[in-house]
Structure 1
Amino acid sequence: LPFLLGRILVYFNAKFIETLGIGYRLDKQTITEDHLLEAVYEVINNPSYRENIKERSAIFKDQPISTMDNVIYWIEYVIRHKGAPHLRPAVLDLHWYQYLMMDVIVFYLFIIFFIVYIVKKV
């Protein structure tokens, strides 16, 4: 039973869960004890929720290899390739002004100041 707490991400997660048919969405502003009990009974007693959850669970668990085998593979992969520097994110090699895109910000500021200057001249 995800609740809408006013945050956008929570809203979309709750709406997505409701759309999948695996949960019931309640609005924080209009929730009452009766609404909460009704939602709990609906999720518990309606077999479609259980069926949808089982279907999603099967999809989630359908992996070509087990999680532990996957972890072991990637640990061995990194060891075989001496730390796997090719998997290192390129962002770690950027300077702070590149990471913060200061060149783009300066360019936009220049454009804004130029437009303001032109408007004041006219």
Structure 2
Amino acid sequence: FADQKYNAKIAERYDIGQVLHLKDLNEEGLLNSINTVLLDPRYKENIHKQSAIFRDQSMNILDNVIYWIEYVIRHKGAPHLRPAVLDLHWYQYLMMDVIVFYLLIIFFIVYIVKKV
């Protein structure tokens, strides 16, 4: 849900869709946008072009799986591919240090406001 604006802008940038803003949305605008996307041949051409780019893979899925399994074996578990979060302490992972810092600031501000 949070990435829908981004996805809509990407679709508009590649001419595979149109962005509809909720504040400007009405029946006429919606119908115009639908008709434009359905009837304008450049949208169809661009979506076929993007589809071809997406589907273009140098190897099939099974070969890809085999490659990555062999890659991990060759590199003894591939520690360089491990996410950095695995090296954090639990309080860093949960951002407890940041939360405590902000709580101290809030308590300090409340203390000063009560003093004055």
Task: Give 5+ residue unaligned stretches, structure 1.
Answer: 1-6
Root mean square deviation, CA, Å:
3.0
Mapped to 2, the partners of 1:100 and 1:79 lie a distance apart of: 32
Mapped to 1, the partners of 2:111 and 2:64 lie a distance apart of: 59
Alignment correspondent of 2:83: 89
Deviation per residue, 1:22-48 (Å, 9 max, x gap): 02445678465x945x55543332111
SS of 2:3's equivalent in the other structure is helix
Q: Which of 11, 17, 21 is residue 15 of structure 2 equivalent to? A: 21
Alignment correspondent of 1:11: 5
Structure 2 residue 59 is the aligned partner of structure 1 residue 66: yes
TM-score by length of 1: 0.66
What amino acid sits opposite 1:12 in the alignment? Y
Mapped to 1, the partners of 2:21 and 2:104 lie a distance apart of: 45
Alignment correspondent of 1:3: none
Q: Which of 73, 90, 101 is residue 107 of structure 1 equivalent to? A: 101
Q: Give 1:67 deviation, angstroms.
A: 4.6
Q: How does 1:49-64 map to 2 (within 5 A)?
A: 49-63=43-57
Deviation per residue, 1:64-94 (Å, 9 max, x gap): x325343322111112233323322231243
Alignment correspondent of 1:4: none
Q: Give 1:20 deviation, angstroms.
A: 2.0
Alignment correspondent of 1:47: 41
TM-score by length of 2: 0.69
Mapped to 1, the partners of 2:34 and 2:113 lie a distance apart of: 61
